[in-house]
Structure 1
């Protein structure tokens, strides 16, 4: 588990350069191995317990009850329906939902929406459409690890990770780092930095960007004519932090809700949302690009969207859910309350075992935790390992059958940090913490 596979001589000769790149990335990715051997207290007690993947299992029963009671398929769902960009009904449903919950300055229309089979496909489409191979997307550290492949693997675009040092990555001061990174990349390569990738609420830090930071990013993008991609997939998973009561929290504000005309050309702004996180439905594979002022982009997707066609079943399920205002209002509220409770419970476990965690989060499903500090306290002879420390801990965790997201893969600038996901029932979290503690002692 987790070992690097070597290319056979025959494969090395027969793979393209792109195939080589995919092999290098795939040989290091164990996520699907974890999913194939997931722990279950009765059915698979020797399996791997995951608190590394950003899945929200808290309301699965509620969502399944709704689906079983309300979803009816017709003959049109066995056809191509209205095409690969999402059915007319689905795009109307997404527009309706966003207009109710994202408070858009300009109402979202179905023609503004492109549906994809998840937000990874959405990001890849934007990267492929707006950037040439070798051009760059700016991404601040730490970051959601899969952004790298989404942006770069097939579009062959370069991701420029931006080191923040002692600067808060979500602060207005951080924007200077973006500009420095763009200038350095362009001077070094002769290629252009053409876009900024933003995750708001932030994954893995679990906080929302202040308006001042977003404004400065928009001004920077305008001055350099860069696209601003705002991944807002955790927009409605913002909750009450019951632990850090003295910390001032930033509320979530969608780019859709802003009058941006004095800050940036609106055709440079693209917002992402989907069903995976706020509705705990990763398996539906439903994402959306909302690009309100770039009709030419939507024309390009008439051919590209064939490769991200949403299943007719997922299309129908999502349409039904998003049009049911009573259900979605209740579901979102319940989800936020449960996330708040689970965050409080996990922080109590972490404090009990004296494991450092970053305070002040109020969004998403995760905590940024420092296992290196706790490990080195128990093993002072291991100090001085530097960047290797995270790899050592990651393997120890896997040996104890618990999967926690590798901090280095998420752009951590300091060794020993990991992302742990708390959107699971309490017995799941208790078992995960027991395994984590055993691994680092």
Structure 2
């Protein structure tokens, strides 16, 4: 049996996805297919590295060193054709804490910060909780694919926006922004003196036929105006180990961000996070290739069955990530009724589309990073409940 076909029981492991079903959905019968972690075991090399480190028996304060920096450099160069300097790196327990830190360090209260909705819910919190002014550049669906409204984008950027939080690949709509799209966004930001904060945590999870391009890699000028947030957590299922990194080429901005990390006491990663990150980037390449084939197969299966066996649920085909955006507007339900129907009718726990912004009403997000057997069960529940309406 392939390691990606194995169904692992995650109950009683304090899993947010599985052990919080009663709390989140008021039912333990719900099949959880929501939060962005995978129901797959990590690469064997990562597991072995963690076991070896655990056997040492001492878990004192642990530093990242030049070897860890080089491991990240090598990954970015081989995977994304992006060469970075070691001193551009800062480490953080996660991309979300990093976004909060950057906003605190490089913007002021009431400054305008732009996001492209529907988008990852913490983007809203990062802006609102620090008393910044939220500006939205809503993405537009054209022939089942989301596109950027560049006219609206320029109008918004020209209104005095100080920072733009980009999501690439985009969560939840699954777009892997192409070079011309990235270039247009970057050029507009340069024209209007807008800082680019790029969340690229899903950068390694791109389907065949598409390529992730770090926006900072487009030119030296754009690089100097961009802060990039990355991590191995989505790629290798390491979210619980809390290890991410920030790439800030501009020295002045980097010093400001690092000072803010210090004010928050976020100066150091945990021992196991460092161990897992290094092992994953050094030895996880083959595992990742196999993973992408599995999630592609899952994506194709989801699309095939929902489009052929239901008339009211449309799959927005993702170009990257293992998160799939479902257009349920033709079901004719209010959004609150739609959420209730998935939990009580289909008994499947998905992410609420409205949590990604008002543009997400009528949509739901499903996580397909699971064994085919689990996916099939989820699809069966949705199809059977839809056809029984």
**TM value normalised by structure 2:** 0.83
Per the alignment, residue 342 of structure 1 pairs with 298
Aligned 1:219-258 pairs, distance under 5 A: 219-240=187-208, 250-258=210-218
Correspondence for 1:217 among 162, 166, 185:
185
Give the distance between the partners of 1:402 and 1:359, measured in 2 at CA: 19
Correspondence for 1:318 among 268, 273, 277:
277
Structure 2 stretches of 5 or more lacking a match? 1-14
- Asked if residue 95 in structure 1 is aligned to residue 73 in structure 2, the reply is yes
- Asked if residue 37 in structure 1 is aligned to residue 20 in structure 2, the reply is yes
- Asked if residue 397 in structure 1 is aligned to residue 342 in structure 2, the reply is yes
- Asked if residue 178 in structure 1 is aligned to residue 153 in structure 2, the reply is yes
Q: Match of 1:347, SS?
A: helix
Aligned 1:5-404 pairs, distance under 5 A: 35-38=18-21, 46-60=28-42, 62=44, 65-68=47-50, 70-71=52-53, 77-79=59-61, 81-82=62-63, 86-104=64-82, 107-153=83-129, 155-165=130-140, 171=147, 174-183=149-158, 186=159, 192-240=160-208, 250-261=210-221, 264=222, 266-298=223-255, 300-302=257-259, 303-304=262-263, 306-307=265-266, 309-322=268-281, 324=282, 327-354=283-310, 355-373=312-330, 375-376=331-332, 389-400=334-345, 401-404=347-350
Give the distance between the partners of 2:237 and 2:185, measured in 1 at CA: 30
Aligned 1:414-425 pairs, distance under 5 A: 415-425=361-371
Give the distance between the partners of 2:246 and 2:337, measured in 1 at CA: 39
RMSD value, Cα: 2.9
- The structure having more radius of gyration, on CA atoms, is 1
Q: Match of 2:77, SS?
A: helix
Give the distance between the partners of 1:338 and 1:284, measured in 2 at CA: 24
Between stretches 296-305 and 389-398, larger displacement belongs to 296-305
The aligned length equals 364
Give the distance between the partners of 1:72 and 1:319, measured in 2 at CA: 15
Q: How far 1:360 moved relative to its partner?
A: 4.1
Give the distance between the partners of 1:73 and 1:115, measured in 2 at CA: 25
1:344-382: CA deviation from partner (whole Å, max 9, x where unpaired): 222233124324334542210122212231x33xxxxx6
Per the alignment, residue 12 of structure 1 pairs with none
Q: How far 1:112 moved relative to its partner?
A: 0.6
Structure 1 stretches of 5 or more lacking a match? 1-31, 40-44, 187-191, 241-248, 377-381, 383-388
